[in-house]
Amino acid sequence: MAAWSDGRRDDPTPCREQDRGRFEVTQRDGRARLGRLHTEHGVLETPALLPVVNPNIRTVEPRVMWDKYGIQALITNSYIMWKHDDLREVAQRDGVHGLLDFPGVIMTDSGTFQSYVYGDVEVGVDEIVAFQRSIGVDIATMLDVFTRPDMNASEVERAVRETEARAKQSLEAAEGTMLNGPIQGGVFRELRHISAQLMGAHDFAVHPIGGIVPVMEQQRYKEYAKIMMATLPLLPPDRPVHMFGCGHPMLFPMSIALGADLFDSAAYALFARDGRLLTPWGTERIDDLVDWPLLMPCVAGCTPAEVRAMEAEAKEGLLATYNLEVTLAELARCKQAVRDGRIWQLAEQRSHQHPALREAFLWLTTPPTFERTARPKKFYTDRDAARDIDRDQGMWEDAWDWVVWSQQTPRSGGVMWGGDDTFSRPHIAKARRNLQMRWTHEGDVSHAVVFHGIRGPFRERINEVLEWLSTHHPSLEPMILTPLGLVPASLEDLNPFAHLDAPPWVLRHQPEAVRIERALQRLGMTNLPFATVDVAGDGMKQRLAEALASLRLDNDVHAPLTPEQRDAARRRLRMKQAVAKQTVLLNTSHATARSVVEGASFVVNREGRVKNINDAEGEHLFSPRLRDGGMSLATAGAKALYAHRTEPLPTDLPRTEWWGHVGQGPAVVVVDDDAEPFVRKGRNVFHGFALACDPWLTPGEACLIANAKGDLLGHGVAQCTSTELANLRKGIAVKTRGGLSR
């Protein structure tokens, strides 16, 4: 986002002709994304706020928005201009940019919202689109049929069908002008599905989510979240999603976390007219204030009392500017949160600031229960109340899977404890699913010992006893119980499990046998005898001895190992870790992982941590990462994994994403002949040059790059899902980490 300035800002540079209308993703955090929409009046960086400007009432001048605040786009109403002769004449003579004195991107609405408010829209479907084209808008909007939340399903379905019936003629009337294709459907999940699929099949540039203003006005934020979850997974990912009429900053974090790209609203001006101030937690009234809830630049030199004493017009203008500054600041906060990988945490924090928003967030993050069809009459918790019951049970799990699938894990940085909400963060859910689906124990396991009681890194406390257990009880599986779940000791440094920053009581929570049994079962160890060992404080070895005794196993843990035994144990543990990280992080089968590192050597640092894994010939296979417990793939490792691949080479670009194909190795991306020489030189793979990929391609995971003949060209880190690879036409698809010369 541009820095605020008091000077005049240069006009934007038009995009390249071949890029016009294309959308690229530059950074992401799950479904949240930073992007660039290419237009004739510059490249619009998203997420973006498009302030609504009434051509008759300019509370904040568009030129000020551009020059002072660096606002790259705004939205105005083409129906108002079409209806008023004086505005229409100037707009057709000077263009809408000249009329508004705004050099950036201009989107126009078609009059649909006016039909909802006033019911007096008289313009035709073709006519309003042709008019928008004639005044030079960057993004026009077709005349759709508005759906209200109080309409029944039959009425809404007619609106959905009629809107889609107008799509073709609207696109023809646009004659190449970028066009909005609104998604309607009211509060009906199935009709939102239908609208998204029907409208997504047409060549629109942007998809606004329509019919949400009355939902927001009634603070039905749970319905708002349901509309997003019913719609966004089915829309083409190469088109920005515009939350039509959403401009209150309190909704930005949740909306962006779920994939919204564009926002618009007249709230900054309308609320100012009533003496109301926008904040990230709701609305404040100027009449009630002694101090500013947020001190923004425009009010740094005055108090609320001084503003109340102003003339009405001056007061309205200042409050509108305040609202605009607050809104832009929250948007900037969201964008930085995406860069930092913390957008969901920001949405989580914001959810505590309004009960309706909290209800929506809890609904999003609470899995359904099938144990009862009605809630008990006694008191229940907020999260219990958020669970879907009866008809809605389990209906939304595919949409939640869509959110979780796109998460990057492991990721750098600590995980801040946020109470019960911590367990529901999508990237933590993804990490747990990967572990449960991909990890397998080695050989026959007879028992498990579950260590608990401290924060990571765990190796500093348990490495010595792990060596002893590996020597004397090779069929015993050491596990570590973290607040985020049970993990094998071979993955003791894996983010997020080992990187939780939590209060001491969270770590000191005593393990429950039933939960451990269930966790072991999810990891493929059903009915396995186990014992727990608290590793905090003195006497840890004695507690381990007692635990082993309870399992009727040799428990002389104080007996030292010989140097030969210790060296052999360390090698076994390093091999076990190399296999475990391949299975969980690179999606390899246990057999493949073991074969790849057979005879491997390990390069360790002064603390004894493995830095590099080399094969029997000394070729560099992998590098375990210290910062997140992940493992980077080297070129020799890529070649070895590709040689073990059993799946046929992909031949198309999948249009769906799913969790299958466990153990099939890193996903393969097949590129065309034009990209091949660049990949071999280690250059990135760009969208538009991929011919096929495996459906389990996921952001942040290592992938292999091949040509259509099946030759391995290189390896890298995926920046997108398979669906996104099939749709996006601009931006980086794979960050190449190594190329193979001929």
Q: Per DSSP, what are the bridge partners of residue 738?
A: 715
| Chain center to CA of 720 | 11
Distance in angstroms (rounded) separating the CA atoms of residues 395 and 53: 39
The alpha helices in 56-120, defined as continuous H runs, are: 62-67, 78-83, 85-100, 112-117
The token pair at 277 is: 């101030």
E-only strand ranges, 54-167: 73-77, 105-109, 139-141
Sign of the dihedral through C-alpha 699, 427, 241, 26: negative
DSSP code for 365? H
Distance in angstroms (rounded) separating the CA atoms of residues 125 and 134: 15
Distance in angstroms (rounded) separating the CA atoms of residues 363 and 355: 12
Catalytic residue among 29, 109, 238, 264: 109
Sign of the dihedral through C-alpha 277, 281, 282, 287: negative
**Cβ atoms < 10 Å from Cβ of 341:** 20
Distance in angstroms (rounded) separating the CA atoms of residues 487 and 523: 9
Distances from the Cα of 613 to the Cα of 20, 150, 557, 637, angstroms = 46, 62, 30, 9
Beta-carbon contacts of residue 466 (< 8 Å; ≥ 6 apart): 478, 489, 569, 573
Q: What per-residue string of b and e applies to 613-646 under the rule 16 or more CB within 10 Å gives b?
A: bbbeeeeebbbbbeebbbbbbbbbbbbbbbeebe
DSSP code for 644? T
Active site annotation includes 420: no
Distance in angstroms (rounded) separating the CA atoms of residues 330 and 336: 10
Long-range CB contacts for residues 302-307, cutoff 8 Å, separation at least 24: none
Distances from the Cα of 412 to the Cα of 30, 428, 625, angstroms = 14, 13, 10
Q: In residues, how long is the chain? A: 742
Half-sphere exposure of 33 (CA within 13 A, CB side): 25
**Phi and psi (nearest 5°) for 87?**
-70, -40
With beta carbons less than 8 A apart as the criterion, state whether 653 and 721 touch. no
Q: Which of 591, 659, 700 is nearest to 437 (CA)?
A: 659
What Rg do the C-alpha atoms of the chain give, in angstroms?
A: 29
Beta-sheet strand order (sheet of 610-614): 601-604, 610-614, 620-624, 631-633
Continuous segment of H or E residues that includes residue 382 = helix 382-386
- The CA-CA-CA angle for residues 456, 521, 485, to 5°, reads 25
Active-site annotation, residues: 109
